[in-house]
Amino acid sequence: MGIARKLAKLDHLVRGPIAQHFPPQLTTRLYSATRSTFLEQLAKERPDVDPPLHPVQMRNLYFRNDLGNAAGFDKDGKMLPFSYSVGAGFAVVGTVLIEPHTGNKLGSLSHNPFVPLPHSRSAINSLGLPSAGVDVVVQNIQHFRHAYDPQDFPIGASVMGHPNHEGAEKIAGTVECVSKLLPHVDFVEINESCPNTEHSDDGLTERIGRIVDVRNNHTRRGKYVPIFVKLGDFGNVDETIKFYSESGIDGLAGLNTQKDYETLRKDIDPRDRDLFDHYTENHRGGVSGAPIRGRAYQQIANAAEEIKQQGSDLKLIHIGGIATPADMRQSRRLGDTVVLREWYTGMMDAIATQKLEEIYARMVR
Ligand SMILES: Cc1cc2nc3c(=O)[nH]c(=O)nc-3n(C[C@H](O)[C@H](O)[C@H](O)COP(=O)(O)O)c2cc1C
């Protein structure tokens, strides 16, 4: 058994009592400090899995199954060999930035703040978009493709403007980032929803327009790369679907993590509440997992219905709180518009509690 599996099993035994009884500040430090080390170890695991099949075609892409990791799990493409060997249907790398970025720091420490809320099957993070930068990500993707020649396993890249850039520089950086990724990825997810950095909606039409132009120019020379926009909230779903249907993108993904702490707190198990309160008061951060499951499902269901009403060609990727085979079945019942599913918090739970060889098979079959 690899180190990551041992660490995950150990963590599974102690994370409940730690969340409940340790001082929240210490718990936050512990998990923020160990997150990267755990992922580095997990990246070395190569479970021996027959990839579970639930074939999907979306535009020109073929997916061996409809479940992949959500953005944030594999910031720089180093987890691709793991994701491929564990049986994922696809992977999303990123969020990728045009230049390297350290993200938020936990006080004077160099760690990005994050903590699990184990009794609530949730987590809260304010990593603040750490990224090795697009050039490193491109190299990692190239190495993976060369070593594994992955079949029916599309690679997506999540992209957004650099948090240290503003205005024209930010848009130009985003467009350049997409342009560098286009020859190497199969689809792009534009992150319009990250709650942990200053991120305004200003310039949305220009931003999306320029990204679509870059993609269309690329198509003339190479393959068609579908573009998705990831949202934190579908807002007025009628307007949202109308706007994006005319924007030239291929679909929408949602939801990202959520920040309305007062409402979310009701779905936080009392044993995690001290930790939740400490974290949100000191680090803000976005909540993921079970507490956002209901709203993510509802918003995707509404968007799917609206797409039908408007005769739109948009596709949807369902993200938020997906953790069980029942969640997968419920999501698939939304029909062909909801073409793919992504998970993060539920996947981390599954890694800690189940055999690595079974986590995708159980969800996909
Ligand atoms: C630690 C962590 C880091 C994340 N980083 C990103 C990111 O870089 N870009 C992004 O679009 N979403 C990011 N997300 C949000 C996830 O992609 C996903 O939208 C959210 O966690 C809801 O899914 P879940 O309930 O399955 O976790 C992150 C989530 C977590 C927990």
Quick: pLDDT tens for 287-345: 999 999 999 999 999 999 999 999 999 999 999 999 999 999 999 999 999 999 999 99
**To which residue do tokens 């969340």 refer?**
19
In testing the pocket of ligand 1, which one of 134, 288, 340, 347 has its CB within 8 Å of the most ligand atoms?
288
**Residue-level pLDDT at 202:** 67
Among 321, 317, 333, 191, CA closest to 254:
317
**Residue-level pLDDT at 93:** 98
Alpha-carbon distance of 153 to 155, in angstroms, equals 7
Sequence spans of domains, the chain: 3-364
Query: What ligand 1 atom has the least distance to the C-alpha of 75?
Result: 8
Alpha-carbon distance of 319 to 344, in angstroms, equals 9
Among 345, 245, 328, CA closest to 292:
345
Above pLDDT 90, what percent of the chain? 81
Angle at Cα 93 formed by Cα 359 and Cα 237, nearest 5°?
90
* Centroid of ligand 1 to alpha carbon of 72 (angstroms): 5
Q: Indicate if ligand 1 lies below 6 Å from the C-beta of 345.
A: yes
**Residue-level pLDDT at 198:** 46
**Residue-level pLDDT at 197:** 44
HSE-CB for 219 with a 13 A CA cutoff: 12
**Residue-level pLDDT at 172:** 93
**Residue-level pLDDT at 196:** 43
Q: Indicate if ligand 1 lies below 6 Å from the C-beta of 190.
A: no
pLDDT tens digits, 85-132: 999 999 999 999 999 999 888 876 779 999 999 999 999 999 989 899
Spans of the chain below 70 pLDDT: 108, 194-202
CATH topology of domain 3-364: TIM Barrel (3.20.20)
Q: Indicate if ligand 1 lies below 6 Å from the C-beta of 24.
A: no
Query: What ligand 1 atom has the least distance to the C-alpha of 321?
Result: 25
